[in-house]
Amino acid sequence: MGAITVRVTPRSSRPGVEVRDGRLVVRVQAPPVGGRATDETGRRIADALGVPRGAVRLRSGAASRDKVFEVEGLSAREALARLGGRS
């Protein structure tokens, strides 16, 4: 399992997932209240990688814009490579 550092932008009008400067950036529509932005971030990562939602787990940063997620079955390098061209 690889740890992926993610920068989250809540309340975005254009949700999406992209790799910027070697770091995953996820824009979500949900507000940063009650864990909603974190939940949507996990769902977006899972969808973008084509893995089940349960394979993506928050490791740290629940109350921060900078979070660390783990993806079961993929290293951080593999996950970033899969996401390289997506936005």
Give the model's pLDDT for residue 87: 40
Contact 30, 40 (CB under 8 A): yes
The reported pLDDT for the residue numbered 76 is 86
Mean pLDDT of 34-55: 96
Give the pTM: 0.90
pLDDT at residue 20, as a whole number = 87
* All structural domains of the chain with their residue ranges: 2-83
Residue 86 has pLDDT above 60, yes or no: no
* pLDDT bracket for residue 2 (50, 70, 90): confident
pLDDT digits over 18-32, tens only?
988 878 999 999 999
The rounded mean pLDDT for the chain is: 91
CB 35 within 8 A of CB 62: yes
Q: What is the topology classification, in CATH, of domain 2-83?
A: Conserved Hypothetical Protein Mth637; Chain: A; (3.30.1200)
What gap in Å lies between CA 33 and CA 51, rounded to an integer?
Answer: 26
